[in-house]
Amino acid sequence: MIRYYWGRFWPFLLFAFGIEAVENLFTVFFEYRNMDFGLLPLLKTAYVFVTEFAVTMCYWLIPYAVYLWILPRGKAGGKADRWLTSAWFFLFVLANLFEDVAEAFFWNEFEASFNFIAVDYLVYTKEVIGNIYESYPIIPILGGILAASVLAAWGMKRFLLPRNGAVPAGWKRGCVVLFLLACVTGGYWLVDIKDADAVNNRYNSEMAKDGLYSLFSAFLKNELDYRAYYRTLPDAEAAAFLAREFTADDTSVPEASSGSVKRQVRPSEGAIRPNVVVVVMESMGAEFLNECREDGADVTPCLSRLGKEGIFFPNTYATGTRSVRGLEAISTSLPPLPGMSILRQEGNEHLQTIGSIFRDKGYDLKWIYGGYGYFDNMNYFFGNNGFQVLDRNSMADSEVTHSTIWGVCDEDLFRRAVREADESCGRGKPFLQVVFTTSNHRPYTYPEGRIDIPSHTGRMGAVKYADYAVGAFVEEARTKPWFDNTLFVFVGDHGAGSAGKQALNPETHRIFSIFYAPALLKPERRDTPVSQIDVLPTLLGLLNWPYDAAFYGKDALKPSYQSRYFVSNYQYIGYLKGKDMVVLKPQRGVEFFRDGEAVEPDGRMKELEREAVYYYQHASGWRTSLKE
């Protein structure tokens, strides 16, 4: 029986192992500077790779084993058997080649094996397939995969059926099926994608993962209950700590004894009621700012000028690596919890958000997005939290001069924002707009002739065009009667990348935020690191508005402000003060870093760990704390 099944299975095993090995060799070639080639890390990497590969192959072989089980013994090795086996091998090769090529493109974008991002993207096939089609020569690539699969199936056809060896009895073939089922069942419970983290070097860890195994693991584990998987402390301690954190200057937390951290903000100075336009900029990391560029390139002249003329926070830190994380932080002032953003979760309606605060002040609320807002559930979230939803579906073709699968170009988006501002102003209504851009995204195309970098040549062109569009937006707004009474906020949603040697790399989360209102605000620069969740309380502080809300951010312009910020990558959630970082992990794990290096915890680190737990544990009850 062993000879029979080995003869049937070895071509599948050999081919799959071969293409995985080739893929990993290419990864090593391109990432060798970032990898750890010590004996123990390499052994751990190999162990994870072999384990996940074995479990994945069991899944692949089960359908073929079932076929061999029901195949009559007299038909084994016949013409029909040969054709069906060749067809299954062809599909097997095609699927594996497609997966490896897709993972190579994914690695090129995220420097990681398939993860939650890939799962999210599978839900939105129109945008993702469109983006791939516009960014890569997809037809030749798919043609190459198909041709290679045909050649592989043709070349291996004489090896797919054993030349000798008796066909086992039916009950023995059934036992093989049961054995494979037992293997995948055991693998589900015993082989966890987190085993790769034992390698410690993130590049080794990501390379060790089998793409398909990683993808399905992410699909099954894309939301985590904080209290079930992460460290906890007494709830009363968390509420008491946060009450102390938030009680300063004009802010108090009167109900902390009941577990609530709803703050009462009561400014002593008079409130102002300007219009507010919050522009969330796609992938606009601080590394693109002129002042951060080592090559001296003039890529962001407009944003640089606005930073000098407004209140500029060049060291703002995004909470995550996806747009929905940035929108979550800016609209709810909530730390990044493990798993999906609350924009994608159930129960996210009627929350205390930027919308509820402005709605209660009589403002016109508009969510303006150049793409299709069903993506990442954005329209649902903003629509069910007080905003009028205006996305690509609400734009006439005559309004669009350039678009990609992700949405209209930033100029078209900003023209719509100006038109909506005119409409609100014409009705005598103050307005809040949350405007989300898309141009700084693959395929990096934009209208020709705007900047000195041709369209579709790479990220720098998209960044410079996005900057140009912001400048054109401000200049057009300057001609409007509502301009002098409008406060603009420009903030990145996340950085351009998240890769690094650790699971969390704070330097890749650095963005910026600018509060710009030349008739209302005096220019100021604050180099203190601030969190993206501080943007909303800082905005409300500039308006001197009294309000009650269970926000977790702080007004970064207050004398009492002390820097701390949050970063995350789905399962890992970090908390930083200065050069110290605590990372909370599933299974109640925790890691400590100082200056980017792993360290053993001292007294300061243990205190930082407690603070991190207090913040994240309390925030995990957002469905209760943020409800209106």
* 181 CB-near residues (< 8 Å, 6+ apart): 62
**Helix (H/G/I), strand (E/B), else coil: 375:** helix
Give me the amino acid identity at 307. Answer: G
Alpha helices in 247-370 (DSSP H): 301-309, 323-332, 354-360
Task: Dump pLDDT digits (tens) for 45-69.
Answer: 888 888 889 999 999 999 999 999 9
Q: How many helices (H) and strands (E) are present in the chain, helices listed first?
A: 20, 19
Calpha distance 348→385 (Å, rounded): 8
- The rounded radius of gyration (Å) of the Cα atoms in the chain is 27
If you write DSSP's letter for every residue of 474-524 in order, what string do you get?
Answer: HHHHHTSTTGGGEEEEEEESS-S---SSSS--GGGGEEEEEEE-TTT---E
Is 494 assigned a ligand-binding role in the annotation? yes
Top pLDDT among 290 and 116 is at 290
Task: Give the position of tokens 């606005």.
Answer: 306
Do the bridges between strand 547-549 and strand 263-265 make them parallel or antiparallel, or are there none, so unpaired? Answer: antiparallel
* 255 CB-near residues (< 8 Å, 6+ apart): 262
Task: Dump pLDDT digits (tens) for 504-553.
Answer: 899 999 999 999 999 999 999 999 999 999 999 999 999 999 999 999 99
Q: Is 283 left (phi over 0), alpha (psi -120 to 50) or beta?
A: left
Question: In which band, very low, low, confident or very high, does the pLDDT at 151 lie, cut at 50, 70 and 90?
Answer: very high
Query: Most confidently modeled of 59-63, 93-97, 215-219, 349-353?
Result: 349-353
Give the model's pLDDT for residue 118.
Answer: 73
Closest-CA residue to 323 (of 277, 381, 378): 378
Calpha distance 40→607 (Å, rounded): 32
Calpha distance 352→207 (Å, rounded): 42
Question: From the CB of residue 224, how many other CB atoms can be counted at a distance below 10 Å?
Answer: 18
Backbone torsions φ then ψ of 164, nearest 5 degrees: -145, 180
Question: In which band, very low, low, confident or very high, does the pLDDT at 104 lie, cut at 50, 70 and 90?
Answer: confident
Per-residue pLDDT at 597 exceeds 80: yes
Contact between 523 and 309 under an 8 Å Cβ cutoff? The reply is: yes
DSSP at 203: H
Closest-CA residue to 435 (of 511, 382, 376, 362): 382
Closest-CA residue to 97 (of 16, 11, 213, 215): 16
Task: Dump pLDDT digits (tens) for 453-506.
Answer: 999 999 999 999 999 999 999 999 999 999 999 999 999 999 987 666 677 899
Across 289-294, average pLDDT: 92
**Helix (H/G/I), strand (E/B), else coil: 276:** strand
345-350-351-353 Cα dihedral, nearest 10 degrees? 110
Structure tokens, 182? 């037992």
The end-to-end CA distance of the chain, in Å, is: 66
Do the bridges between strand 388-390 and strand 364-369 make them parallel or antiparallel, or are there none, so unpaired? Answer: parallel
Closest-CA residue to 537 (of 528, 529, 546): 546
Give the model's pLDDT for residue 193.
Answer: 65
Is 282 assigned a ligand-binding role in the annotation? yes
- Catalytic, 323? Answer yes
Calpha distance 72→78 (Å, rounded): 10
* Cα angle, residue 474 at apex, residues 468 and 476 outer, rounded to 5°: 100
Contact between 318 and 507 under an 8 Å Cβ cutoff? The reply is: no
Calpha distance 560→534 (Å, rounded): 14
Per-residue pLDDT at 221 exceeds 80: no
pTM of the model: 0.79
Per-residue pLDDT at 128 exceeds 90: no
pLDDT > 70 fraction of the chain, expressed in percent and rounded: 95
DSSP at 371: S
Angle formed by the axes of helices 410-426 and 459-478, nearest 10°: 20
Give me the catalytic one of 323, 498, 568, 625.
323
Contact between 570 and 325 under an 8 Å Cβ cutoff? The reply is: no
Top pLDDT among 25 and 431 is at 431
Is 493 assigned a ligand-binding role in the annotation? yes
Question: In which band, very low, low, confident or very high, does the pLDDT at 32 lie, cut at 50, 70 and 90?
Answer: confident
Per-residue pLDDT at 37 exceeds 90: no
* Cα angle, residue 246 at apex, residues 245 and 247 outer, rounded to 5°: 100
Beta strands in 164-274, from DSSP E residues, in sequence order: 251-252, 263-265
Task: Dump pLDDT digits (tens) for 560-596.
Answer: 999 999 999 878 999 999 999 999 998 789 999 999 9
Give the model's pLDDT for residue 440.
Answer: 93
Q: Is the peptide bond before 443 cis (omega within 30 degrees of 0)?
A: yes
Question: In which band, very low, low, confident or very high, does the pLDDT at 17 lie, cut at 50, 70 and 90?
Answer: very high
Question: In which band, very low, low, confident or very high, does the pLDDT at 186 lie, cut at 50, 70 and 90?
Answer: confident
Thinking of the domain 235-262+270-625, which architecture would CATH place it in?
3-Layer(aba) Sandwich (3.40)
Question: In which band, very low, low, confident or very high, does the pLDDT at 121 lie, cut at 50, 70 and 90?
Answer: low
Per-residue pLDDT at 196 exceeds 80: no
Domains of the chain: which residue ranges? 2-220, 235-262+270-625
